[in-house]
Structure 1
Amino acid sequence: MTVTKSLPASAAEAAEAARLDASVEPPAQSRPLPAALLRGARCLCPACGQGSLFSSYIKVAPYCPKCAEELYHQRADDAPPYAVIFVVGHIVVPLMVLVEELFRPELWVHLSLWLPLTLGLCLALLPPLKGMLVNLQWALRMHGFDPASEEREAPPDGVKPVVRAVRPIR
């Protein structure tokens, strides 16, 4: 006859809870949304806030030049121009109506005033709004910005992956 020793119910439950806790991955590093949006408005890397987000006017760099954060996962697509049209429209149209009602200028005055203002605002607002959208995707771990995501993809052709150096803790 063999005697099996069993744990009390509370100890067995504690062992099961410990086993389940060990199988759960540690929580991912926090990515604060307000800081990411501010960095995006300044066209800076969402991770470090030091490197430039863009390699040219509105072309997102594949990696941050300072911290090597992968940025090629972004999927801004057509959203930034729509946001710019929305914002600029809400600025220019009320001003246009106000000037028309107060002064009733000629058509050439309207054209010479509102076309350059609209174009200038669009060109000035496009990079910050695109930066905010890319950094929003990063903060919410969208489109491959999550290291454990199924959506992660290889770097685009011609872009070599950056190997991050691990600094020893002193």
Structure 2
Amino acid sequence: MSDPSEPIRDKALYPPLTPSSTGLRGRCPRCGEGRLFSGFLQVAPRCANCGLDYAFSDAGDGPAVFVMLIVGFIVAFLALYVEFTFQPPFWLHALLWIPLVVGLALAMLRPLKGLMIAIQYKHKAEEGQLEQG
């Protein structure tokens, strides 16, 4: 009998899946069926469908950087357009852009984190190691 704490060793072959098809939907990068996240941004320990151990995943600050760049570009463009076209008071700018920034950031963070993890899986990226010798 095997130890239940050991990862499941599945010998099945899985077709290659694109990182965008799995990561953006928050699915397992190997089988495309299991859930990648156990919470809003908490990565699950392993895939419930194929048993892939997600210990390799380390998205770090990458998704947050991309979210800041994309959301910042969108909101800055819209804020400048509204300012030069309508010249509203500053309180209206705050009323418009703060909820938009928060909403876009929350909507984009999880899919981009899933995408970065799926890209790591596809390219077999892992933490760098120095060779001793």
Which category describes the TM-score, using the shorter chain as reference length? 0.7 to 0.9
The answer for unaligned runs of 5 or more in structure 1 is 1-28, 145-149, 151-170
2:92 corresponds to: 109
Alignment-mate amino acid for residue 78 of structure 1: D
Shift of 1:72: 1.5
Q: Which residue of 2 aligns with 1:39?
A: 22
Q: Counterparts of 1:2-81 in structure 2 under 5 Å?
A: 31-32=16-17, 35-81=18-64
Q: Distance in 2 between matches of 1:30 and 1:54?
A: 21
Unaligned runs of 5+ in 2: 1-13
Partner Cα distance (1:115, 1:102) in 2 = 19
Q: Which residue of 2 aligns with 1:98?
A: 81
**TM-score, L = length of structure 1:** 0.64
Distance 2:60 2:31 in 1: 24
| Matched position secondary structure for 2:54 | coil
TM-score w.r.t. structure 2 length?
Answer: 0.81
Structure 1 letter corresponding to 2:47: C
Q: Measure how far apart 1:30 and its partner are.
A: 7.1
- Count residues with an aligned counterpart: 116
- Contact 1:61-1:72 at 8 Å conserved across structures: no
Does structure 1 residue 143 correspond to structure 2 residue 126? yes
Identity %: 38
Deviation at 1:39, TM superposition (A): 0.9
- Structure 1 distance, partners of 2:24, 2:15, is 20
1:60–1:72 contact (8 Å) kept in structure 2: no
**1:77 & 1:117 partners in 2: Cα distance?**
24
Q: Distance in 1 between matches of 2:82 and 2:113?
A: 31
Provide, for residues 71-119 of structure 1, a one-character-per-residue CA deviation record: whole Å limited to 9, x for no partner.
Answer: 1211111111101101111211101100001000001100000000000
Could you tell me which amino acid in structure 2 is paired with residue 133 of structure 1? M
Using the alignment, how far apart are the partners of 2:15 and 2:38 within structure 1? 26
